[in-house]
Amino acid sequence: DQQVKQNSPSLSVQEGRISILNCDYTNSMFDYFLWYKKYPAEGPTFLISISSIKDKNEDGRFTVFLNKSAKHLSLHIVPSQPGDSAVYFCAASIYGGSQGNLIFGKGTKLSVKP
Amino acid sequence: ETGVTQTPRHLVMGMTNKKSLKCEQHLGHNAMYWYKQSAKKPLELMFVYNFKEQTENNSVPSRFSPECPNSSHLFLHLHTLQPEDSALYLCASSQDLTGTGYTFGSGTRLTVV
């Protein structure tokens, strides 16, 4: 059973508009969440993260929101740019856990149209 | 070189072949990982090494055999694979096991014929 779910396999947005990518998780022990971005033929690269002690973290055009009661997080990109077109993976971990492994979602492919 | 480097980038092998994937990191990280990415599936953790010691084997079939001679190098030895093992194999490293994020390599695209 998937512990981290990205239910939208794809999203298409017009340049300049907001992109909202969603992620749900089931394990209440998760307390650290990350978003990775992946271009074709490249490995995922870290984008932004949030600890469960916060409900929002912002870095330039990227903002991650965490709703612990709903076990839901979202990534907002505003304004969206064509270069943002990529697959976005949500990941979760138990910070300080002995294994340190991240649990990933299936990814959402974002297409930003000029 | 910096970051995490994986070789080869592409590999086609028959089911009776033996091949190895290589991963090297120049970040001074102590933990290294193998992940498998199949189409329409989440990234699946395969193996975790911390300070050269394997700390997790995520129920991976024995036809995949990892090796970590030092904290900077990680190998994945492959033998008698099946076509369903075709996937993108990603190596990653992190400073420690706190799960605060990895640096990934570009991956090896493996096709088993």
Q: Which residue has the higher pLDDT, A25 or B96?
A: A25
Indicate yes or no: CB of A101 within 8 angstroms of CB of B45: yes
Q: How confident is the model at residue A97 (pLDDT cuts 50, 70, 90)?
A: low
Residue B28 sits at the chain A interface (C-beta within 8 Å) = no
Is the per-residue pLDDT at A100 higher than 70? Answer: no
Residue A93 sits at the chain B interface (C-beta within 8 Å) = yes
Ordered mean pLDDT values, 10 residues apiece, chain B (113 residues): 88 93 95 90 88 83 94 95 94 84 92 94
Q: What is the mean pLDDT of residues A28-35?
A: 92
d(CA B110, CA A26): 31
pLDDT at residue number A99:
60
pLDDT at residue number A41:
78
In chain A, which residues have their Cβ closer than 8 Å to the Cβ of B56?
99, 101
pLDDT tens column, A41-91: 788 999 999 999 999 999 999 999 999 999 999 999 999 999 999 999 999
Half-sphere exposure of A34 (CA within 13 A, CB side): 21
Contact (CB, 8 A) for A19 and A112: yes
DSSP-assigned states of every residue in A23-64:
EEE--TT--EEEEEEE-TTS--EEEEEEETT-SEEEETTEEE
d(CA B41, CA B34): 16
Is the per-residue pLDDT at A96 higher than 70? Answer: no
Q: Looking at mean pLDDT, say which of A1-5, A31-35, A60-64, B78-82 comes out highest.
A: A60-64
